[in-house]
């Protein structure tokens, strides 16, 4: 049976974040990574230098993914994830509110097209949570226009790895007002949690790990629908990899979204997803037992996740 409990800390205040704007992930070779993301996912290069490449899904041509060359570390994983807000004055106000609430906030200079200002908060795993703003446009607003080509429409959500899942979810709640939609019981506390600050079921999910070198499970992009996911799967399997890792399938709880998982050449996992349900903020957290979770992680068939799916980068 699923239990439920109220969302701690999330009810009193919610930061005016629009949604995920982009993620910055590490890669072991920038040229190889760029070749893959442009050929297999049909993303377009907005800008690049020797250490950093900026990619867009198209549509509004704003940055949807940043690739950072990492030759000193593991050459994979997550540097930061960035949510958008409506303008630099809102960012200024948010920074003041966060500081007044006891959060340490750093101003960072980001050299990104159509981004004027950014602040950064360190999350419990050391990954940075950035908030970015522009005076020409509201950031983190979904543009559903689809260019010619197969590329996904936009970034969609983050799925992180953390040693203390409930601690991370509660931190997102008390710091920014994220609400937890669902959680799964694990042997030592929560094994997974799905949190949101937009109407959709999850914007940031967290899964348990005891490997301190991995903090990313996947970065998810949005497809229009299942037909579009099929087009993307065809593209990936003709120009990117021999086979995808898992899917196309459908999750049960968890927003009931369609999923397709694939690894990039640096071993970072990317998800293509569509048709995620919304989740009301007032809904209590649904806490599932581990065996019930096994049943709804994939609802169309009996195919379990492939070996190693719990591992990240
Ligand atoms: Fe996901």
Look up the CATH number of domain 153-296: 3.10.180.10
Whole-number Å distance, alpha carbon 87 to ligand 1 midpoint, is: 28
**Cα 77 to Cα 202: distance, rounded to the nearest angstrom:** 20
pLDDT digits (tens, 9 = 90+) for 62-100: 999 999 999 999 999 999 999 999 999 999 999 999 999
**CATH topology match: 20-133 vs 153-296:** yes
Give pLDDT, residue 6. Answer: 57
User: Looking at per-residue confidence, does 163 or 187 come out higher?
Assistant: 163
User: What is the CA(105)–ligand 1 centre distance, in A?
Assistant: 28
- Predicted confidence at residue 246, as pLDDT, reads 97
CA of 233 to the centre of ligand 1 (A): 16
If you measure from the C-alpha of residue 267 to the centroid of ligand 1, how many angstroms do you get, rounded to a whole number?
16
Instruction: Write the pLDDT tens digit of every residue in 104-155.
Output: 999 998 888 889 999 999 999 999 999 999 999 889 998 777 777 899 999 9
State the distance from the centre of ligand 1 to the C-alpha of 136, rounded, in angstroms.
30
Instruction: Please give the Cα distance from 206 to 251 (Å, whole number).
Output: 16
Backbone angles phi, psi at 291, to 5 degrees: -75, -30
Instruction: Parse the chain into domains and list their residue ranges.
Output: 20-133, 153-296
Q: How far is the CA of 17 from the centre of ligand 1 (A)?
A: 20
CA–centroid distance, residue 89 to ligand 1 (Å): 32
**What local confidence, expressed as pLDDT, does residue 204 receive?**
98
Give the span between the Cα atoms of 34 and 40, in whole angstroms: 10
Does residue 114 contact residue 62 with C-beta atoms inside 8 Å? Answer: yes
If you measure from the C-alpha of residue 157 to the centroid of ligand 1, how many angstroms do you get, rounded to a whole number? 6
Q: How far away, in angstroms, is 311 Cα from ligand 1 center?
A: 14
pTM for the predicted model, two decimal places: 0.95
pLDDT band at 8 (very low <50, low <70, confident <90, very high): low
Mean pLDDT across 260-282: 96
Q: What is the mean pLDDT of residues 16-26?
A: 97
Report whether pLDDT(1) > 50.
no
Distance 261 CA to ligand 1 centre (A): 9
Q: How far is the CA of 101 from the centre of ligand 1 (A)?
A: 30
Distance 147 CA to ligand 1 centre (A): 23
* Residue 163, token pair as written in the block: 């040693």
Q: How far is the CA of 275 from the centre of ligand 1 (A)?
A: 12
pLDDT at residue 45 is higher than 70: yes
pLDDT confidence bin for 188, thresholds 50/70/90: confident
Say if domain 20-133 classifies as CATH 1.10.1200.10: no
For the stretch 37-56, what's the b/e string if a residue is b when 16 or more beta carbons lie within 10 angstroms of its beta carbon?
Answer: bbebbbbbebeeeeeebbbb
Q: How far is the CA of 218 from the centre of ligand 1 (A)?
A: 7
- Mean pLDDT for 165-184 is 97
Q: How confident is the model at residue 5 (pLDDT cuts 50, 70, 90)?
A: low
Say if residue 236's pLDDT is above 80: yes
- Phi, then psi, of 284 in degrees rounded to 5: -65, 160
CA–centroid distance, 262 to ligand 1, in Å, is 12
pLDDT at 3 over 80: no
Query: Has residue 179 got a pLDDT over 90?
Result: yes
pLDDT score for 186 = 87
Rounded to the nearest whole angstrom, what is the distance from the C-alpha of residue 115 to the centroid of ligand 1?
26
93 CA distance to ligand 1 middle (Å): 31
User: What confidence tier does 60 reach under pLDDT thresholds 50, 70, 90?
Assistant: confident
């Amino acid at each position: 049976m699923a239990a439920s409990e109220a969302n701690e800390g999330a009810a009193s205040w919610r930061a005016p974040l629009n949604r995920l704007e982009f993620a910055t992930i590490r890669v072991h070779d920038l040229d190889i990574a760029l070749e893959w993301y442009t050929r297999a996912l049909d993303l377009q290069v907005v800008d690049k230098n020797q250490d950093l490449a900026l990619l867009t899904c198209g549509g509004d041509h704003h940055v949807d993914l940043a690739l950072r060359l990492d030759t000193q570390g593991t050459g994979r994983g997550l540097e930061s994830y960035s949510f958008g807000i409506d303008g630099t004055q809102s960012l200024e106000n948010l920074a003041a509110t966060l500081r007044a609430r006891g959060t340490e906030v750093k101003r960072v200079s980001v050299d990104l097209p159509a981004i004027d200002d950014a602040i950064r908060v360190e999350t419990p795993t050391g990954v940075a949570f950035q908030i970015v703003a522009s005076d020409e446009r509201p950031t983190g607003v979904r543009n559903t226009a689809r260019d010619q080509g197969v590329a996904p429409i936009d970034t969609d959500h983050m799925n992180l790895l953390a040693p203390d899942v409930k601690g991370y979810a509660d931190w997102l709640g008390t710091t920014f007002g994220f609400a937890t939609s669902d959680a799964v019981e694990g042997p030592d506390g929560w094994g997974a949690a799905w949190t949101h600050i937009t109407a959709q079921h999850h914007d940031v999910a967290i899964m348990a790990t005891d490997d301190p070198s991995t903090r990313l499970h996947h970065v998810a992009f949005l497809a229009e629908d299942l037909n579009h996911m099929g087009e993307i799967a065809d593209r990936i399997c003709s120009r990117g990899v021999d086979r995808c890792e898992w899917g196309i399938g459908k999750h049960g709880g968890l927003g009931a979204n369609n999923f397709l998982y694939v690894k990039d050449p640096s071993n970072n996992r990317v998800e293509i997803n569509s048709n995620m349900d919304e989740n009301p903020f007032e809904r209590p957290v649904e806490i599932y037992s581990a065996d019930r979770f096994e049943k709804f992680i994939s609802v169309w068939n009996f195919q379990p996740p492939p070996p190693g799916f719990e591992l990240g980068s």
